[in-house]
Amino acid sequence: GNSVTQMEGPVTLSEEAFLTINCTYTATGYPSLFWYVQYPGEGLQLLLKATKADDKGSNKGFEATYRKETTSFHLEKGSVQVSDSAVYFCALSDRGQGAQKLVFGQGTRLTINP
């Protein structure tokens, strides 16, 4: 079955540092890939997505590229801020327009110190 593996957390960085959170996946076919973010006390929000190979998703300075050859979707940001402190989830779903059963990684807790 489909699965997602994220780098182990927690991750602690200083403000303006470069961020990478690794994500690899196992799937049959060609899934859609997502990064969700969960701020303290809130539900998950979609951060960015990519629906086919070599697509780059981007939002709020974060980027991730759908790499089919390495089955990866690593999240990057060039200069993190304190407000980026949150838990980040990589996820996938089968492509299509119907109900999407998301498969999540275990999440990576990111803390940014001023």
Shortest distance in whole angstroms from residue 112 CB to another protein: 20
The 53-82 site mask, x for binding another protein (CB under 8 A), equals ------------------------------
Q: Which are the contacts of 43, defined by CB distance < 8 A and separation ≥ 6?
A: none
17 vs 55 by CB, closer to another protein: 55
For 82, list phi and psi in degrees, rounded to 5.
-55, -35
For the record, the structure tokens of 67 come out as 């790499």
2 contacts 103 by C-beta, under 8 angstroms: yes
Question: What is the torsion angle, in degrees rounded to the nearest 10, for the CA atoms of residue 30, residue 36, residue 108 and residue 54?
Answer: 40
The 75-114 site mask, x for binding another protein (CB under 8 A), equals --------------x-x-x-xxxxxxxxxxxxx-------
The residues of the shown chain that bind another protein, judged by CB under 8 A, are 4, 6, 32, 34, 41-46, 49, 51-52, 89, 91, 93, 95-107
